[in-house]
Structure 1
Amino acid sequence: MRAVFAIAIVPFILASPAFAGDAEVKAAQATIDSQLKAFIADDGAAAYSYAAPNVKQIFPTVDTFMNMVTNGYPPVRKPRTYAFGKVQEMSPTSIIQQVLIVGPDGKDYEAVYTLEQQPDGSFRITGCSLRASTSLST
């Protein structure tokens, strides 16, 4: 199921933050930040609330979602630290955001999130691709 959630069509060459509107970037980052904080706090319901409808369709309950994240994305589930990296606006309502994570194992990871603006104006996470980081720089 991890492969379904990790949208593989995410380019790893990301543009500078200037390409996306500041308000949209801040809103997308706030969504990711809130979800990561919910994971750290073991608040599955809150973490699940930041998932987009396409993710909720694949993982229809908080438990199935949390099991997928716990088993497939340990660095995202329990990051030691994280910082936002590069961002790219794919369309006026779609953003790709790089997040640099130090996982529970102390190793560096790169998570690339895709987010879509919802009809109510909020951004929700449509996917996350995770890989071991080969560099500490952004």
Structure 2
Amino acid sequence: MRARLTSSVILAALLLASVPAAAFDEADREAARAVIARQVDALGRDDAATAYAQAAPGIRDLFPTPEVFIGMVRTNYRPVYRHRSFVFGAAQDGGATSLSQSVAIQDTYGVDWTAEYSLERQPDGQWRIAGCRLTRSPGVNL
């Protein structure tokens, strides 16, 4: 009887381990988009403190003050910092506590870009931006 119970427990554990993690629901995706939108809105107003507050702890470790952070964005993420359009695309689950969000951006010169935001769910349940990879859209010549 004991061996049978042990086998059942092991089988149940294996079955649970083989089930993929639950996908994030639309509320999670909307919350993640809201964090990005808050940061982009804050950048548009040069509100360094609010933009910085949307960043995950790892980003805040790299850029220890809001002023340093916004300076980095101005220099390295100009299409995010100032743009004509900013349109959310698809979101992808990235694991148990992360997701990525694609954004189509057109900069002030009319050049198209894609931003891939990485977001992490924090222990308090809030989403924060852990990174952004910015690339020119295909076919763009500068």
User: Which one of 119, 131, 134 corresponds to residue 130 of structure 1?
Assistant: 134
User: Which one of 86, 92, 107 corresponds to residue 103 of structure 1?
Assistant: 107
Structure 1 unaligned runs (5+)? 1-18
Alpha-carbon offset, residue 20 of structure 1? 3.2
Secondary structure of the equivalent of 1:80? strand
Q: Kindly, what percent of the aligned residue pairs are identical?
A: 42
Counterparts of 1:59 and 1:28 in 2: how far apart (Å)?
21
Counterparts of 1:20 and 1:108 in 2: how far apart (Å)?
29
Alpha-carbon offset, residue 43 of structure 1? 0.8
User: Which one of 29, 52, 66 corresponds to residue 56 of structure 2?
Assistant: 52
State whether structure 2 residue 96 is matched by structure 1 residue 92.
yes
Counterparts of 2:97 and 2:70 in 1: how far apart (Å)?
26
Structure 2: which amino acid aligns with 1:23? A
Alpha-carbon offset, residue 134 of structure 1? 1.8
Q: Which runs of 4+ in 1 moved over 6 A?
A: none
Task: Identify the residue that residue 35 of structure 1 maps to in structure 2.
Answer: 39
State whether structure 2 residue 64 is matched by structure 1 residue 76.
no
User: Which one of 55, 62, 65 corresponds to residue 61 of structure 1?
Assistant: 65
Larger radius of gyration: 2
Structure 2 unaligned runs (5+)? 1-22
Counterparts of 2:24 and 2:114 in 1: how far apart (Å)?
20
Counterparts of 1:112 and 1:53 in 2: how far apart (Å)?
18
Counterparts of 1:112 and 1:55 in 2: how far apart (Å)?
15
Task: Identify the residue that residue 120 of structure 2 maps to in structure 1.
Answer: 116
Report the TM-score when normalising by structure 2: 0.79
Alpha-carbon offset, residue 87 of structure 1? 1.0
Report the TM-score when normalising by structure 1: 0.81
Task: Identify the residue that residue 11 of structure 2 maps to in structure 1.
Answer: none
**Deviation readout 1:45-72 (Å, 9 max, x if unpaired):** 1101100000000000111111110000
Alpha-carbon offset, residue 82 of structure 1? 0.5
CA RMSD in angstroms comes to 1.2
